[in-house]
Structure 1
Amino acid sequence: CRWRSALLWRAFFTTAVVAVVLRALIDICKRGRCGLFGKGGLIMFDVTSGYVNYHVIDLPPVITLAVFGGVLGSLYNFFLDKVLRLYNVINEKGRTYRLLLAATVSVCTSCCLFGLPWLAACKPCPADSREACPSIGRSGNFKKFQCPMHNYNDLASLFFNTNDDTIRNLYSNGTDHEFHITSILVFFIASYFLGIFSYGLALPSGLFVPVILTGAAYGRLVGMLIGSQSTLDHGLFAVLGSAALLGGSMRMTVSVCVVILELTNNLLMLPLVMLVLIISKTVADAFNANVYDLLVKLKGFPFLEGHAEPYMRQLSVSDVVTGPLQTFNGIEKVGRIVDILKATGHNGFPVVDEPPFSDTPLLYGLVLRSHLLVLLRKKEFISSSTASASDASKHFSPEDFAKRGSGKHDRIEDIELTAEELEMFVDLHPFTNTSPYTVVETMSLAKALILFREVGLRHLLVLPKTSKRAPVVGILTRHDFMPEHVLGLHPYLFKSRWKKRDAVQPAPSIRHPMTHARTTAFLSDGSRNKRPMRPSPTLPREARGKRARDATEKGANSCQEYRTAPS
């Protein structure tokens, strides 16, 4: 979406309110009323006490940390994708299985957190410690955990703290000998996989803080292994480790850089953080997509990129339109509306006027599924297909068509109609958008995508080039612009998409499951996916394919727009 001045003022007001409330809560928490979560603030992990002085000799260890951080970040995304696919299969079986899955992972997590510290040996308290050793209270760097007096368990100090306190412990300066390398290795492996298995359960969980925590342990581990070749403190290695794992997993270099610097309040680390983020992102991009793109694809959201693919310049919108198209008359029979709503999952339907309302079939506009459900629920029907209910809108209020804040919406299955009501008619004219966005069928698919994205549309009507055909050829939604759908219809374009690589023509299996469902028989099984595939209304498939391949060989895919002749 575009940045607007109204959004700027809203963000400014929200930030001001958050700052005032946070300052008030900090003053309250200073009195000890917030328990373990009372140490937060604007600067969560302050490392300004450590002066950052780095030289050329520090670059090889930092680059090594960034490279392996990118690899670990891509592996994190890979494992998370596999685990979430497994969780989806289990969650689809019902609420009981979701609760059992969450309980099972919780029990395993508790066993790890309480069992692994028994493997660590007790360490004597440092003589120059700035904190009480062992720690007094439920937080601190020195957990006693079954150790004798004046000793502490470093692994328990990492596990038996809140995530914020653990990150502070790992980021702390002058603590190079506070943790044993074996304890850091065990904590890194445990937090790495527990973060993966904890996400996607039926409980509040996230990715950002667990990745920061795992990255801090990874940075500490690298600092212990190759820190002798550098002048950097192990705590600074932990900060860079968090940046490396965030860059390898989330790939948001600028945002992560700002977040890391604001959380640590140390601008002197800016060059190293930038270097680590760029390297880790570059390495991870060679393996897979960022974690948020993987989650979007896993959930099946038809997310469109901000730019058009080069191969879209070779196609017109008619080349991706699939059918059959479901339209309504201006005055439609109630039974037909119910049948189409039950058989399809479309959210928008073209309304076409026919005689006697117009001399020839004419596109009147677009009516939404939600509006049709409101009309059926209110039962403002008419008995004749020729009578127009011009005052029908007076029986409705704006609240009837407003979105419900609860997230609940009407379903066609919940609306009960008698046999007599199914034989009646409803006037759609007062409830139809008479000025929907339309494009001609010969328009470039790339231009249509830009229009679709810039305006923020959900439906784009495709009109015929000539007036002797039906008033509307098809309707485009986000699914029709998805690469999986386009390449599924035109697989020969796959090679031009990856022309820099000697890619072979893909097998039909590359088609996305959602696209496959859209291009299969649909009206018979009531699937909620889109329309079944039909031949393009322009040239036959063989002629269109040959023409596009000839254009591709001549270099038309780089700067020209391929158009097919209308039938």
Structure 2
Amino acid sequence: MWSILRPEMFSMARLMSDAMTPVRSPTRNASDHLRKMYCSTSTLGLLTGVIASLINLAIENISGVKMLHMVRLVRDKRYWAGFFYFSGFNLALTFVAAVLCVVFAPTAAGPGIPEIKAYLNGVDTPNMFGAPQLIVKIIGSICAVASGLDLGKEGPLVHIGACLANLLSQGGSGRFRLRWKWLRFFNNDRDRRDLITCGASSGVCAAFRSPVGGVLFALEEVATWWRSALLWRTFFSTATVVVVLRGFIEVCRGGRCGLFGAGGLIIFDVGDVTVRYRLGDLLLVTLVGVMGGVLGALYNHVLHMVLRLYNLINDKGRMAKLALALAVCAFTSAGLYVLPFAVPCTPCDPAFGAACPATGRSGNFKQFNCPAGQYNDLATLLHATNVDATRNIFSTGTPGEFRLDSLLIFFAIYCVLGLFTFGIAVPSGLFLPIILMGAAYGRIVALVLQSAVAASIDHGLYAVLGAAALMSGSMRMTVSLCVIFLELTNNLTLLPMTMFVLLIAKTVGDAFNPSIYEIILDLKGLPFLEPKPEPWMKDLTVGELAAAKPRTISLQVVEKVSTVLEVLRNTGHNGFPVVDRPRPGLSELHGLVLRAHLVAVLRKRWFLLEKRRTEEWEARERFSSVELADKNCKMDDLELTPEELEMYIDLHPFTNTTPYTVVETMSVAKAVVLFRSVALRHMLIMPKYQGPEISPLVGILTRQDLRAHNILGAFPHLAKKSKAH
């Protein structure tokens, strides 16, 4: 069950933090916070870079052992032995990844990006960024990718970066948590949110060696609230990641880190792509973009249906999740092993030189089952990790390297595998599978056009553009994808074409359905607030919306313990308005108190014998900032005596006296924009007119109240306007 963050700084939490901090000048405090943020972001980048490099090394070496032995069996014509070895190896790796996710950390399955996007929008998914999730994500992604499943490690790397950021902000996890005083500066939702944003950008940078692309990914895709200070923090963390990655590449150059080929395969890098194009190619690029947008939208639609089916299967329990993962792995292994036998061998072009055929694990021209001097182009793509396959299919200057029938088979099988692999209980990413499908689609277009117009067409160019088109058509990202592809290819001449195709594909895809991450957010039931309200929301006021809800429960400034306990046990609200009555017949809104703070007061038994106001120093002496930052609202073990129930609690030290309030005549459309832009958790609705006999509060709205489908459920007549728009 998710919960809502409280990124705004409450007055009492700030008061407690100040009470425990030595008195310093504002400049000193600001410089201290800046220095600590530099330290945390650099540590985050360092750890993300090291872990990403080790994950790459593990995947490449495990895949190397598997592929070399399987090819050796095929060369000896022991085909069944090769099949059972290949399938058994993959099943064992998938079993490890699935068991870790099913038993120890269920939230580590999948990419983790939708949950990060929801967290940065204000929705906290429990057990999402802890130490168990980090460990399972690392080991699980290694096993899942090395098993040959059609998934990537890019999404898991983003989640790993977010987990590292969360643990750094808290000093660790559980009883191993560090208790350093300076860590309390990050013990709030706002700073933790900033660090997790840095972690997400570092993960993308580690996946693609794209520092600027990582920053723009955080800005465009995952971050809801952005400010200039966050820009340099994310950039600093990604710069640290790039330095670490470059260090690993230099250390491992020449094969000193295991079974990988020339060019530094531990990092996704296609820097040798060089293309030239003419202005007349814009018409063909437009066609690539339109088709990419249609294919991306179709992919999202089918994947939505598959994920709904998988949810029904996974709800049946752990064994069902494990069986589904193993079944998908068995189907994948059979397809990857058998399909290369279905295509004929291709003679090596003398222009390819000694690189053809390739007998090792890597290379563009896999010999596989072919005689000397020939290669199997489909095995070149299928019998490689997704990173190697992407590098092979992006290669330029090799127009005859891949046959049309091989590309069609590869595109078809990767579409099927991509649809049926995502959603099983293993860490998985969508980036590379979609890139591979798009690159194959681009090469197919290039082959068809070349045979139709008999013109010289660079297949590598269309592979890159096809990958960009399908990515944009499915994920609906433009700026960050453009920079990522630019940094990957190291070719500025690609920039205009890539921008053009990304914009076209996104526009076409938006005409059919939402992005893939929005679909996943909806399937998971996470209340994500979109940046733009629905047009029909302007026809409804917040007062009307509040009136459709149950009556708001409020508390007095000095309230009886029994009343507070009854309210907490009989409601699930996370915030309660506090009303003051300075004199009979007159009520004033004093502020808002959180459920977690009420539970903290009850646990501490900070009760009064008589109904009176307390002094601020009394609360300072009893509560610490750590206690007030705790989100634990459980009351199962709370037992109070009859005498304690008759006592009183002074709520004013724990009340946020400056909550965000709006007048009841404000439109819901404006309220949604305000709620999202200010990162609110509760919005108090005030009456238009004030008076002695008028209640100071009309109601209170939360994130769930402002979601479109919830509003339509309360006001069915607006559904017609929704369809009209």
TM-score, normalised with respect to structure 2 = 0.63
Who is 1:231 aligned against? 456
Q: Residue type of the partner of 1:155?
A: L
CA distance in 2 between counterparts of 1:18 and 1:35 reads 24
Q: Which residue of 2 aligns with 1:44?
A: 269
Secondary structure at 1:350 match in 2: strand
Partners of 1:412 and 1:234 in 2: how far apart? 60
2:349 paired residue number: 126
Quickly say closer, same or farther: Cα 1:108–1:360, change in 2 above 3 A. same
The one-letter amino acid paired with 2:473 is G
In the alignment, the residues of structure 2 paired with residue 231 and residue 144 of structure 1 have an alpha-carbon distance, to the nearest angstrom, of: 27
Question: What CA distance in whole angstroms lies between the structure 2 residues aligned with 1:96 and 1:416?
Answer: 37
Does structure 1 residue 141 correspond to structure 2 residue 367? no
SS at match of 1:129: helix
| Offset of residue 336 of structure 1 | 4.3
Contact 1:332 1:428 in 2 (8 A): yes
Q: 2-side partners of 1:465 and 1:342: how far apart?
A: 32
Give 1:327's aligned residue. 554
Deviation per CA, 1:254-307: give whole Å up to 9, x if none.
Answer: 222222222112222233223322332232222111212222222222222323
**Sequence identity of aligned pairs in percent?**
50
Partner of 1:519: none
Q: Take 1:289 and 1:47, find their aligned partners in 2: how far apart are those partners?
A: 34
Instruction: State the match for 2:597 in structure 1.
Output: 371
2:311 corresponds to which of 88, 91, 106: 88
Q: What amino acid is the match of 1:371?
A: H
SS in 1 for 2:589: strand
1:64-463 matches, cutoff 5 A: 64-228=287-451, 229=453, 230-321=455-546, 322-354=549-581, 360-382=586-608, 386-388=611-613, 390=615, 391-403=618-630, 409-418=631-640, 420=642, 424-463=647-686
Structure 1 residues 392-417: Cα deviation after superposition (integer angstroms, max 9, x where no partner): 452211111225xxxxx524254332
Q: Does the C-alpha gap of structure 1 residues 146 and 40 become closer, same or farther in structure 2, counting only changes over 3 Å? A: closer
User: After superposition, where does 1:504-523 map in structure 2 within 5 Å?
Assistant: none
The answer to whether the aligner puts 1:28 opposite 2:251 as a matched pair is yes
Contact 2:394/2:460, CA 8 A, preserved across alignment: yes
User: What is the distance in 1 between the residues matched to 2:287 and 2:232?
Assistant: 43
Tell me by how many angstroms 1:253 deviates. 2.3
- CA apart distance, 1:63: 3.1
**1:342-377 CA distance string (max 9 Å, x none):** 443322111223478x76333221111222232233
Unaligned stretches of 5+ in structure 2? 1-223
Give the whole-Å Cα distance in 1 for the aligned partners of 2:321 and 2:268.
37
Equivalent residue, structure 1, for 2:163: none
CA displacement at 1:28 relative to structure 2: 0.8
Query: Measured at CA, do residues 307 and 282 of structure 1 come closer, stay the same or move farther in structure 2, by a change above 3 Å?
Result: closer
For the structure 1 residues 75 and 153, does the alpha-carbon distance in structure 2 shift closer, same or farther, using more than 3 Å as the test?
same
Partner SS, residue 363 of structure 1: strand
Checking the alignment, whether the CA contact within 8 Å between 2:359 and 2:367 is kept in structure 1 is: no
Counterparts of 1:12 and 1:237, CA distance in 2: 31
CA RMSD of aligned residues (A): 2.7
Structure 1 residues 55 and 307: alpha-carbon distance in aligned structure 2, compared to 1, 3 A threshold: closer
User: Which amino acid in 1 is paired with 2:389?
Assistant: T
Partner of 2:189: none
Q: Distance in 2 between matches of 1:111 and 1:315?
A: 56
2:705 partner amino acid: D
Call closer, same or farther: CA 1:474–1:129 in 2, change over 3 Å: same
2:352 alignment partner AA: S
Matches within 5 A, 1:460-471: 460-466=683-689, 467=691, 468-471=693-696
Q: Deviations over 1:435-459 (max 9, x none)?
A: 1111121223333333223322111
Q: Which residue of 2 aligns with 1:488?
A: 713
Q: Is the 8 A contact 2:555 2:578 kept in 1?
A: yes
Q: Give, in angstroms, the shift of residue 487 of structure 1.
A: 3.2
Structure exhibiting the larger radius of gyration computed from Cα positions: 1
Cα distance, 1:67 vs. partner? Answer: 2.3
Secondary structure of the residue aligned to 2:352 is coil
CA contact (8 A) 2:664 2:698 kept: yes
2:550 counterpart SS class: coil
Structure 1 SS opposite 2:684: strand
- Shift of the 195–43 alpha-carbon distance from structure 1 to 2, 3 Å rule, reads closer
Unpaired segments ≥5 residues, structure 1: 404-408, 502-567
1:60-89 per-residue CA deviation (whole Å, 9 max, x = no partner) reads 543333222211100111112122222333
The amino acid of 1:369's aligned partner reads: R
Q: Distance in 1 between matches of 2:433 and 2:491?
A: 21
For 1:162 and 1:233, locate their aligned partners in 2 and report how far apart those are by CA, in whole Å.
Answer: 24
The separation in 2 between residues aligned to 1:343 and 1:214, in whole angstroms, is 53
Match of 1:360, as an amino acid? L
Q: 1:4 to 1:55 in 2, by over 3 A?
A: closer
Task: Name the amino acid aligned to 1:416.
Answer: L
In structure 1, how many angstroms separate the alpha carbons of the residues matched to 2:388 and 2:512? 33
Q: Is the 8 A contact 1:54 1:232 kept in 2?
A: no
Distance 1:126 1:61 in 2: 28
TM-score after normalising by structure 1: 0.79
Q: Cα offset for 1:335?
A: 4.6
Moved over 6 A (4+): none
The letter for the 1-side match of 2:277 is N
Preserved contact between residue 561 and residue 647 of structure 2 (Cα < 8 Å):
yes
Q: Which has the higher contact order (CA 8 A, sep 6+)?
A: 2
| Secondary structure of 1:361 counterpart | strand
The 2-side partners of 1:317 and 1:63 are apart by 45
How much has 1:315 moved relative to structure 2?
Answer: 2.6
Structure 1 residues 372 and 93, CA gap change in structure 2 (3 angstroms): farther
Query: Is the 1:317–1:444 Cα contact (8 Å) retained in structure 2?
Result: yes
Give the C-alpha shift of residue 419 in structure 1.
Answer: 5.3
Change (3 A) 1:5 1:76: same
Tell me, yes or no, if the aligned pair for 2:275 and 2:458 is still in contact at 8 Å: no
Instruction: State yes or no: 1:54 paired with 2:278.
Output: yes
CA contact under 8 A between 1:90 and 1:97: conserved in structure 2? yes
Structure 2: how far apart are the matches of 1:59 and 1:5? 36
- The question of whether the paired residues in 2 share the 8 Å contact of 1:393 and 1:431 is answered with no
The whole-number CA distance in structure 1 between the counterparts of 2:250 and 2:328 is 37
State the Cα distance separating 1:142 from its structure 2 match.
Answer: 2.1
Q: Give, in whole Å, the separation in 1 of the partners of 2:392 and 2:580.
A: 71
For 1:55 and 1:311, how far apart are their aligned partners in 2?
Answer: 44
Q: Give the whole-Å Cα distance in 2 for the aligned partners of 1:368 and 1:161.
A: 53
Amino acid at match of 2:357: P
Q: How does 1:538-549 map to 2 (within 5 A)?
A: none
Counterpart for residue 166 of structure 2:
none
